[in-house]
Structure 1
């Protein structure tokens, strides 16, 4: 199974388990995670949700071959795609969501963390949102959430250049709750989830809802605007060059595009 899910002691765990492809996410994997989140939201036995990757990799982001076969086209049809189902379920979850990140979190692997409530990272974690490098634009409200977390200048550097950054830098920008040694990451995240399970569930849900309320409308607006622009840019020559270069294992040449 490329996604492992389990429920125990009030905690739903969702784990990427495709190490042979660096946990690159397919549509089927998105659908499994979306279904698990939707189910958890109405399951009173689930009181906290934890995402895990592997020690060496959280996720390399989208599986590009799978993604390009089912690329977004813009408009309302995209809402039915598994990736949008997953991200909307994550952004709208009433239960607290924890992510425990080790190794690289690339593209949507970083974007999704902006929608989690607590993010813990191992000291080997690396983050990257290389959308501009791929001839694309930010996704799923990262253009709103990341500047709000990191401040505009630092967010601009990471989003415009698309370069990777370390766990320590992510922590200093306010993106992470804590940085831990790799062997302490998973036990710590589960202990934090257990603390949430022991608290009054209604109070936890209400507090999360109150904290998210002021920005929720902006998130929905940003997601819609980003989807339309992302879809259009995906069909543009710059993205074609970026993806062709990726599959040909060469550096893309954007010099001929204005």
Structure 2
């Protein structure tokens, strides 16, 4: 398991913690690879029947580590982020997100592939792709409008509206809202309920609920092509330069 990703399995519940608090739990390529490995193992394993994703300390994740993405691919046959998104979007077993604090970028888009999203009252949700010179990812351009409605999705994806936790519940992005101090205890109860349910019934029920999502893989592929183009664009280069120089990006 890669540094900054911890796994713990207790009574058929596996908890994955994104643990890089010094960088607000921003996700590197190595972390994506470890997360993909964990989800692929969970899918095949009989030892775990519920999977929880959470963040360390008071952040869920600040999203992609932009410096790592700016450095480009290391020549992997399948990029780690692609493996992770494929694993989370196709996992046939139940997935729970325990959103303990701010969720940014992929911190939001991965939630669209989870079955239950339990958030603390300190959580916030933002998707600043356009502000970074990028485009939506993980089929969020399809799934976010279907989840929160077109008006709110446009506000988030184009204008970077940040949703507070109570708004996320009201718009249907979050399943349950829990005080920060009680988040992991409540999540453990829900995860145990799922892990102790009839396993075949759970698998078949999730499959039925997920019907009609055949477009997801195709949309994810379209997004990944455009995302890669933007990573190599002058716009993204300007974002990185502006961050390094501690100034606002200039797209004129």
- TM surpasses 0.5: yes
Structure-1 separation of matches of 2:238 and 2:29: 23
2:15 paired residue among 6, 13, 16: 13
Deviation at 1:163, TM superposition (A): 3.1
Q: 1:154 to 1:71 in 2, by over 3 A?
A: farther
Deviation at 1:136, TM superposition (A): 1.2
After the TM superposition, which of the residue ranges 185-194 and 160-169 deviates more from structure 2?
160-169
Tell me if 1:24 matches 2:18: no
What is aligned with 2:150?
152
Structure 2 gaps of 5+ residues are none
Q: Decide whether the 8 Å contact of 1:90 with 1:115 is kept in 2.
A: yes
**Structure 1 CA distance for aligned equivalents of residues 63 and 172 of structure 2:** 22
Q: Name stretches of at least 5 consecutive residues in structure 1 with no aligned partner.
A: none
Provide the rounded CA distance (Å) in 2 between the counterparts of 1:102 and 1:148: 24
Question: Equivalent residues in 2 for 1:1-258 (5 A)?
Answer: 1-71=3-73, 80-215=78-213, 217-254=214-251, 256=252
Deviates more, 1:51-60 or 1:106-115: 51-60
Cα distance between partner residues in 1 of 2:77 and 2:209: 25
Task: Tell me if the contact between 1:58 and 1:109 (Cα under 8 Å) persists in the aligned partners.
Answer: yes
Deviation per residue, 1:63-95 (Å, 9 max, x gap): 1111212359xxxx8870111101110111111
TM-score (norm 2): 0.95
Contact kept? 1:55, 1:182, Cα under 8 Å? no
Is residue 5–residue 15 contact of structure 1 (8 Å, CA) maintained in 2? yes
| Offset of residue 234 of structure 1 | 1.9
SS at match of 2:212: helix
Q: CA RMSD in A?
A: 1.5
Q: Is the 8 A contact 2:242 2:248 kept in 1?
A: yes
Give 1:113 shift: 0.6
